[in-house]
Amino acid sequence: MNPEQGLPLPQRYSAILVVALGLTLSVLDSAIANVALPTIARHLHASAAGSIWVINAYQLAITISLLPLASLGDRIGYRRVYMAGLALFTVSSLGCALATSLPALAFARVIQGFGAAGIMSVNTALIRMIYPPEHLGRGISINAMVVAVSSAVGPTVASAVLSVATWPWLFAINVPIGIAAFAGGLKALPRNTPHNAPYDFLSAVMNAFVFGLLIFAIDGLGHGEHRGYVLAELVAAVVIGYFFVRRQLDRPAPLLPVDLLKIPIFALSIGTSICSFAAQMLAFVSLPFLMQDTFGLTQVQTGLLMTPWPLIIVFAAPLAGVLSDRYSAGILGGIGLITMTCGLLLLATLDAHPEPLAIAWRMTVCGAGFGLFQSPNNRAMLSSAPRSRSGGASGMLGTARLTGQTLGAALVALIFGVAPQRGPTIALYVAATFAIVAAAVSMLRVVQRGATAST
């Protein structure tokens, strides 16, 4: 078998199913934990502020370990990192289910986050090995569709489980699914030829400090922490980050892929991703407040009216994936993000008592635009990197998404603190600004590609 041409068809289906199952578990687990947080806090006799660590521990572990694990995948093989992450996630899910105190649960969630990072860090690198180049967009679109579906059904799954069982079952149900995915992965997942460069452990530690400090600083800024602490965290992140980046410059396969960021299409795709996910998170966090506090809708109505956005991505992502195998990601992404900008502005300018249908179709416009952008952008990012650096590209893809989401959530908190009355509306206007900037950056890829072709 020629590794450049992907897996043969029967094995291809099995392999993408394994990748999809692992990704579903890691994304779904974040969504269901959000819904169950009040229940968990009451059961473990924890404060609301303390219980937030059930979420933060998971997200922080993923963010600080994505790039180190992606780099490890380049060195020891993507299959090994993915399977180890899946195993760790499954075992730690059992640990979460058996936890009897908040510290024990938070610790298990840290381990679970490292497992999820193992899955997320190399999943797109595996897709590049599973699919031939001419069908890579289709494989990427399955990835986008799985993330959208998992995000959309997460609250529903959590509510359904909590209606018939206690919160530990939210984590326990991961165990049989994880075991099934692990068993399938042993047979179906492809192997790549790793390179033998020594692993840079110091860079991995520096990476953890830089991203950890940045997250704490951004989160602290949004939640009104003492400015001195926030400033100290930012300064420390910048100083460590300076030496971290300098260390990467003379390495053949750096942990922070500065070599890939020198590729214009890759760098522009990263910028597009960060801005677009910041826009999406600004909208996702602020819209429930707009619907409940301004429009007077119930929680159930809000949940239903939030659904069209991720739901339409399920249909838009496969179409975008097919189109991305034929047309420029810069154009497709630009059109999608302009559409998303229009949807966000339409939501921001709703009157005080809108009809549910008026909200729903605007959410659909946003989701359709985001779905049209995501698959082509990810395909461009992955395919612009050398095949031997697929792990680094995959890690940067996940890091860009998490960076954008963290920035968006922090900006919502900051906006709500400055203008609590009009906060949701202002946040939607800021989201539209990020989306149109993302569209402009996406369109620059068309100019760049044309300049490259002319030379």
DSSP string, 264-298: HHHHHHHHHHHHHHHHHHHHHHHHHHIIIIIS---
Structural domain that includes position 97: 1-197
Domain boundary among 160, 175, 197: 197
Number of domains in the chain: 3
DSSP helix/strand/coil, 255: coil
Angle (CA) 114-397-388 rounded to 5° is 95
Same domain, 134 and 17: yes
Same domain, 174 and 263: no
> Measured in Å, how far apart are the chain's first and last C-alpha atoms?
35
Question: Of 405, 410, 453, 77, nearest to 218 (Cα)?
Answer: 410
pLDDT of residue 255: 85
pTM over cut 0.75: yes
Same domain, 153 and 216: no
Q: Helix H segments across 165-263?
A: 168-172, 174-188, 201-222, 227-249, 258-261
Question: Of 435, 452, 432, nearest to 328 (Cα)?
Answer: 452
Q: Helix H segments across 77-135?
A: 78-98, 102-130
Hey, what's the torsion of the CAs at 232, 233, 234, 235, to 10 degrees?
50
Same domain, 205 and 192: no
Same domain, 187 and 285: no
Pull the structure tokens for residue 268: 């522009």
DSSP helix/strand/coil, 6: coil
Same domain, 219 and 173: no
Same domain, 61 and 76: yes
Neighbours of 296 (CB within 10 A): 10
Pull the structure tokens for residue 216: 């704490």
Same domain, 174 and 302: no
Same domain, 68 and 193: yes
Pull the structure tokens for residue 445: 């890829």
Same domain, 102 and 153: yes
Instruction: List the CATH number of the domain containing 261.
Output: 1.20.1250.20
Domain boundary among 250, 266, 288: 250
Q: What is the largest CA-CA distance in the chain?
A: 66
Q: Name the one residue in this structure whose structure tokens are 């590794």.
A: 3
Write out the chain's pLDDT in tens, 455 residues.
455 566 777 778 888 888 888 888 888 887 777 667 777 888 888 776 667 778 778 888 888 888 899 888 888 888 999 999 999 999 999 999 998 888 899 899 999 999 999 998 888 888 888 888 877 877 888 877 887 777 767 767 777 787 888 888 989 988 999 999 999 888 888 887 777 777 888 888 998 898 888 877 877 765 566 778 888 888 999 999 999 888 888 887 788 888 888 888 888 999 999 999 999 888 887 888 888 888 888 777 877 888 888 888 888 888 888 888 787 888 888 999 999 999 999 999 988 888 989 999 999 999 999 988 888 888 888 888 887 787 888 888 888 888 888 788 778 877 887 777 788 899 999 999 999 999 999 888 877 655 544 44
Same domain, 218 and 176: no
Which amino acid does the sequence have at 367? Answer: G
Same domain, 136 and 78: yes
Residues 6+ apart with CB under 8 A from 428: 282, 283, 286, 287, 290, 344, 345, 347, 348
